[in-house]
Amino acid sequence: MSDLSNKHIVLGLSGGIACYKAAELCRALIKAGASVQVVMTEAAAQFITPVTLQALSNRPVYVSQWDGREPNNMAHINLSREADAIVVAPASADFMAKLLHGRADDLLSLMCLARPIQSVPLILAPAMNREMWQHPATQRNVTQLRADGAHVLDVGQGEQACGETGDGRMLEPEEILEDLVAFFQPKVLQGQHVLVTAGPTFEAIDPVRGITNLSSGKMGFAIARAAREAGAEVTLVAGPVHQATPRGVRRVDVRSALDMQAAVAQHVDQATVFVATAAVADWRLAQVATQKIKKDGSGQLPQLQFTENPDILAGVAQSERAQNGTLFCVGFAAESHDLLEHATAKRARKGVPLLVGNIGPATFGLDDNALLLVDAQGSQALPHASKLSLARQLVAEIARRRG
């Protein structure tokens, strides 16, 4: 199933140049499985035509509160009762001020006021000039709207249509979509702090060479996203990978195993869950060459001395907080064969309550995977699925085990 399957979203547009982004947001919502009903203010129709949104949503667009297409002439009631959420993007400074005071002089504001507050959430994506965003009146309005139960998203930062640069841009459509998907996920880790390691490490040989592996970090990044969706505060310690940081996740970039160990030590005291998905190099050079090692024509390999890297997961699992249950540790094992046997042995060796195994060569760099959960009672297979879907299943399992 898609992320928003069976969800009906009323997409509201108030007046602002960011209306052009609403077209892509509408398309993205439908691609994610939602049905979309567009409601625009007359000001919004000055920036983008209702015909455009009608073509993208495959539904008639509503602009006027006097629209005669509704048999009872109560579009503000009918449209709000059908919605799983009302998303206003863009939400202008004027429109948010109107909502704050309960004014309802157009269809969109009337619908927001008339919606059943307990069952139809209101999600606002602000969009305005940086001075308008920073104005004390706007900031007071945002604070009060949140206190009244509206979900006001962050704003973006960068160049604005007026030529100025700063906060106030509407988030990009994919960012709003990610926030909306997260909104509907069960908050099974609310109040938890999850620390995740992801990706490979890189152990330098000389200034241009090193030892690493094929881990892409996708599984760890998916777990970080799923934990954030589940309501947790998430810190992601990432090796050298080219993955976008999930929305709302704090990212710490590292390079070597020692770097990762130091970053984990810095953040683990605040964590209640530690998920070690990183493929940490087992060995590093005892002495890194300061200059590129050259061939000398002899055909002889250079003499390299290796030393064992620290076992980050085992070290955390042996800590007092892990031993008394304050910190729940989850390990990962990427194997090439005999997965159950190796994962079972690794769980016992690391001393963790839950070990997640997969066949590394079958998943490195891909967007899907299959997992094997191993604990003291036995094993449980999570069948082949997208890494994000598996991450959500794993997060739910962690929440269940934490009680």
Helices 107-114 + 93-100 axis angle, to 10: 40
Q: Which residue type sits at 158? A: G
What is the token pair recorded at 398? 């962690």
CA distance 287 to 238: 24
CA distance 315 to 322: 10
DSSP 311: -
Residue 390, classed as helix, strand or coil, is: helix
Interior angle at CA 11, CA 10 and CA 16, nearest 5: 155
For 42-145, strand residue ranges (E) read: 85-91, 122-126
Q: Which positions are catalytic? A: 162
Longest dimension (CA), the chain: 91
Q: Which of 123, 125, 139, 137 is nearest to 169 (CA)?
A: 125
CA distance 37 to 184: 18
Contact 16, 94 (CB under 8 A): no
Report the 10 Å Cβ neighbour count for 85.
21
Helices (H) and strands (E) in the chain, counts: 14, 19
